Amino acid sequence: MAEDDARRREQDAEDAELMFQGVAHQAELVRTGKTTSRALVEAALRRIGRTDPVLGAFRVVLAEQALAEADARDATAPTGPLHGVPVAVKDELDVAGQVTTFGGSANRTPVAADSEAVRRLRAAGAVVIGKTTMPEFGQWPFTESAAHGHTRNPWDTTRTPGGSSGGSAAAVAAGLIGAALGGDGGGSIRIPAACCGLFGLKPQRGRVSTAPHAHLWYALGTVGPLTRTVGDAALLYDVLAGTTPTDRWSARPATTSWVRALETPPGRLRIGYSVKPAVPGVRPHPEHVGAVLESVRALRELGHDVREVDPRYPDATAPFAAQFCGGVRAEADAVERPDLLERRTRRTLALARLVPESAVERGIRAGERLAERADRMFTTMDLLLTPVVAERPRPVGALDGAGLLTALARSRPMVAYTALWNVTGHPAASVPAGLGEDGLPLAVQLVGRRDDEVTLLRVAAQLEEVRPWGGRRPPPPAPGPVAHRRAVYQG
């Protein structure tokens, strides 16, 4: 018995070492023959089996399919930069043969084909190991739903991982997987990245395809990865970038590989900083203010010209609300069983049906005007530095018993720095900034010019070099409450 326990502990340590390395390193191990795709997938499945019953990060685990895909990868020469590497996908993106639940239970039929983003991952050699949890239609910055329960933060399982890409963030932060796709319509990549200590870049609108859908919440939504390092994010965006004729928006193509771009320092930049929220009436937590000021010091030591600014944020409430309503309505109208939508979602939908399509289009045009105003900020600075969220991660259960108005009120501090940049389309990133007194991660947001993700990546990489965060790991979760519905295992 003691020998078995020792072997299990040894296996746990080996699996953790593989999964916490991230996708670039995992791909290199496969490429050089130091491991196999099957070994990576088996390690990920063991990690998920041991830890996910507490975290609730996965909605479905594709065990049998992933092992078969791994064997197929091992039988061929490397086909791309992610050859043999397991990844996870947020449950608003289509994976062939699986139901796209959007975080609820109103869809029942598996889709026939991968979304374009998932197709690109597979073309690069990745193995899709499962789909991650989200609140219904991604409406909230807390990953909680009636259908799939609560998702918990690996750093403190009594706290939220944020949302709406909280399942993806929790899975990566806990070392269950090296990277996972999320989506960001109001901060849904950056917020969980901040809560879980990850790097999360919301790309320029139109950078990554939303096909087969023409848009994700109209002009608000983007698709992108959550990763442990800047380098992993660059690698994944090299794979994901590009749109199709069905996409409503497309970004200006990058002129170089983002991985190669990281080899060139950004030079001395003008960086403005502010702790003022873009949403009135919200006060940032003192530790979040401190994280910004510590980052100011680090950036100055790196040689940048960093000055406090007053961003004079435009009011984005109306264009955001119109597109939020339109986006929820569009997704709700496409489900098979609208009678199975959550009560709170049905109330959102009742409100959304009062917003005509013409108002949504006016909201998009208003957002473009706000983007032009925001562009003026970047005539006097190259980047803007702010907090990501105003408050520390809430205890799990933020949405329990909450009606629509209460849920909206509880969400305001979480989106006070992020949602504006979905309206304008500017790229913005959550960058780790240490740990707070509560043991949970701190983060700062970097916002850049339109179509200039590269500068964001380069500066984030500089911060990563002077205050490395990739090796920081949360403690193993203690046995405790589980999500009221565990992930479904296929195979």
Catalytic residue list:
90, 164, 188
Outline where 302-356 has alpha helix (H). Answer: 317-333, 343-352
User: Which candidate, 267, 190, 214, places its Cα nearest to that of 426?
Assistant: 190
CA dist 385 and 354 (Å) reads 37
CA 115 to chain centre: 17
Residue type, 128: V
Q: Hey, which residues does 153 pair with through a beta bridge?
A: 156
328: left (phi over 0), alpha (psi -120 to 50) or beta: alpha
Q: What are phi and psi of 335, to 5 degrees?
A: -80, 160
- Helix (H) or strand (E) run with residue 223 in it: strand 222-227
In this structure, what DSSP letter does residue 306 have? E
Is the backbone peptide bond immediately before 411 cis, with ω within 30 degrees of 0? no
Is the backbone peptide bond immediately before 212 cis, with ω within 30 degrees of 0? yes
Tokens of 109: 């039929």
Crossing angle of the two packed helices 37-55 and 23-31, in degrees rounded to 10: 150
User: Which candidate, 197, 275, 198, 201, places its Cα nearest to that of 435?
Assistant: 197
Q: Specify the 3-state DSSP secondary structure of 181.
A: strand
Q: Per residue, what are the HEC states of 421-460?
A: HHHHCCCEEEEEEEECCCCCEEEEEEEECCCCHHHHHHHH
CA dist 45 and 62 (Å) reads 9
User: Which candidate, 144, 161, 151, 145, places its Cα nearest to that of 198?
Assistant: 161
Do 399 and 427 form a contact (C-beta atoms < 8 A)?
no
CA dist 186 and 197 (Å) reads 19
CA dist 269 and 312 (Å) reads 21
Using the Cα atoms of residue 257, residue 234, residue 424 and residue 334 in order, give the sign of their dihedral: positive
